Amino acid sequence: MWNIITEYTYLISIILFIMGLKKLSHPETARNGNLLAAAGMGLGILITLIFPMEGAPNNYAWIAGGMIVGGGIGLFVAQKVLMTKMPEMVSLFNGLGGACSMLIAFVELYNLEPGTSLGDGQGLTTLFALFIGSISFTGSLIAYGKLDGFLRDSLVLPAPQFINMGLLIVILGLNGYAMTLPGIDITWILILTGVSLLYGVTFVTPIGGGDMPVVISLLNSFTGLGAAGAGLIYGNQVMVIGGILVGASGTILTVLMCKAMNRSLLNVVIGGFGGGGQASGSSRDEVVKEASHADLAIQLKYSQKIMVVPGYGLAVAQAQHTIHELEKNLASEGVEVKYAIHPVAGRMPGHMNVLLAEADVDYQRLLELEEANKEMPSVDMVLVIGANDVVNPAAKEDPSSPIYGMPILDVELAKNITVLKRGMSAGYAGIQNQLFFGDKTKMLFGDAKASISKLIDEVSNA
């Protein structure tokens, strides 16, 4: 009777997962989708605690302690984290998910009876969860370091492709050998765990910071696969289906991100930009024209259509609320304001969407790349706020550029362009942006939030 109740409750949890994932595909229903998925997870945890596996020891004290400590840390971090640090938090949480799969697999291998062979499906599943979880754990930590900036240029591997290929061969060899042994050898398991953790480091280290959005979604799919593997170990349907959903959605997102960059996943993993490449010269005269707040405010007020291109600089300046206020002021003057969102703008998938949603920007004003480019010729003024690589013409004009071939926002088609930046520093790809020296471009230097605040005052007084 209890087993039937448990199975049906698991089924309800899985349905809630699927419904929540479906709703996450649209901004209008995303919040409810998140709540549905959370309810499904809560229900799955609850039924597992009420009706534990037959013969399992009573570990409620340990479980409660872990939930209180982990939940407390998660609640504190979620409340205190800045929106600029959201990608770093996502990387850490993703890495902890991988660590869970790794530890579950390690403990199961450690607790096997002496003489137990790994040469069956259960053994293969456990070794798989150990390997994938290890990669997700250390890989996510390296991604965190790159996103935070302290590992951007400080860790360089010689011939990383050969190192990764060698480690992968070693890992496959260790797995194969462990499965042929007549009994479990914990020494080999410790070695396998150590090499897998190292592979996670060497796998992500060569990938440039500009490719971190793709890496985050890829590691997220790894974590899902690890969770599915852990679910197979215990025969837990919620873990299996939940892991499959995370792994599948992460894989689909990775493919879509690569498509948006016009690059293959193999090119991202092996090549990667963001390592400080240099683009070749340009025929344009490198003369910067500066804009003033007063003149720009007049242009904005008397424009018919304005396009805002947000980038990581917007997040750093915490200017999402300020730009929304400017948008409302301009809308009251009869100006149409929209936002052009590049798929890889920011440091994680959907970073700009999250920032603007926090500021209550109407999602209907957010245009994806292709839709935004269609409207660019009719735009009177483009405001590029802290974006760099996603508007860099080198992606179309310079075959020697590390971002060549990546689809960009065609802001050069607009009638006027104003770029808000602190200075003339290069973007994450490490190359100069010739857009800044274009005939239609003016630069407004300074902190984005302060500059937009001044524009709001000037628009009101113009």
Alpha helices in 149-159 (DSSP H): none
Confidence of residue 451 (pLDDT cuts 50, 70, 90): very high
Confidence of residue 156 (pLDDT cuts 50, 70, 90): low
117 burial type by CB count under 10 A (0-12 exposed, 13-18 middle, 19+ buried): middle
- The pair of three-digit structure tokens given for residue 140, joined into one six-digit string: 């996510």
Query: Is the Cβ–Cβ distance between 175 and 192 less than 8 Å?
Result: yes
Provide the pLDDT for residue 80.
83
Strand partners, 158: none
Catalytic: which of 153, 295, 360, 389?
A: 389
The whole-angstrom separation of Cα 182 and Cα 21 is 43
Is the pLDDT score of 210 beyond 70? no
In 3D space, the residue among 399, 297, 280, 379 whose CA is nearest the CA of residue 339 turns out to be 379
Q: List, for residues 314-346, the tens digit of each pLDDT value.
A: 888 889 999 999 999 999 999 999 999 998 887
Question: Which string of DSSP letters, residue by residue, matches 268-289?
Answer: HHHT-S-S-------SS-----
pLDDT of residue 211: 74
Side chain identity, residue 421: K
* Residue 141 DSSP SS3: helix
The pLDDT score that the predictor gives to residue 40 is: 93
pLDDT band at 36 (very low <50, low <70, confident <90, very high): very high
Own/partner pairs for 259-263, CB < 8 Å, 24+ apart?
260/342, 260/343, 260/344, 260/369, 260/407, 261/211, 261/214, 261/343, 261/344, 261/406, 261/407, 262/405, 262/406, 262/407, 263/405, 263/406
Secondary element (H or E) of residue 306: strand 305-310
Q: What is the mean pLDDT of residues 21-28?
A: 82
Please tell me the least confidently modeled range out of 154-168, 211-225, 320-334, 383-397.
154-168
Condensed to tens digits (0 to 9), the pLDDT of residues 404-421 reads 778 889 999 999 999 998
Mean pLDDT of the chain: 85
Give how far Cα 26 sits from Cα of 76, 161, 253, Å.
28, 38, 14
417 touches 438 (CB < 8 A)? yes
To the query of whether residue 389 is one of the catalytic residues in this protein, the response is yes
Nearest to 349 by CA among 139, 96, 19, 90: 90
Mean of the pLDDT values across residues 171-179?
86
CB 310 within 8 A of CB 387: yes
**pLDDT value at residue 277:** 46
List, for residues 214-262, the tens digit of each pLDDT value. 888 899 999 999 999 988 988 888 889 999 999 998 898 888 888 777 6
For 25-59, give the DSSP string.
TSTTTHHHHHHHHHHHHHHHHHHHHHSPPTT----
The pLDDT-based confidence of 276 (bands split at 50, 70, 90) is: very low
Helix (H) or strand (E) holding 367: strand 366-368
Amino acid 59 reads: N
Q: pLDDT band at residue 279, thresholds of 50, 70 and 90?
A: very low
Question: Average pLDDT for residues 65-87, to the nearest whole number?
Answer: 84
Is the Cβ–Cβ distance between 178 and 109 less than 8 Å? no
Angstrom distance (rounded) from CA 5 to CA 46: 12
What is the mean predicted confidence (pLDDT) over 201-225? 84
pTM attached to this predicted model: 0.79
The proportion of the chain whose per-residue pLDDT surpasses 90, expressed as a percent, equals 37
Mean pLDDT of 36-44: 92
Please name which of 63, 57, 52, 24 lies closest in space to residue 40, comparing C-alpha atoms: 24
Q: How many whole angstroms separate alpha carbon 394 and alpha carbon 354?
A: 28
Helix (H, G, I), strand (E, B) or coil at 445: strand
pLDDT at 280: 46
Specify the amino acid at residue 208: G
Report the half-sphere exposure of 269 (CA within 13 A, side-chain side).
Answer: 17
Q: What is the per-residue pLDDT for 416?
A: 94
Distance CA(248)–CA(224), nearest Å, equals: 8
The rounded distance, in Å, linking the Cα atoms of 159 and 270 is 11
Q: Among candidates 158, 139, 154, which has minimal Cα distance to 203?
A: 139
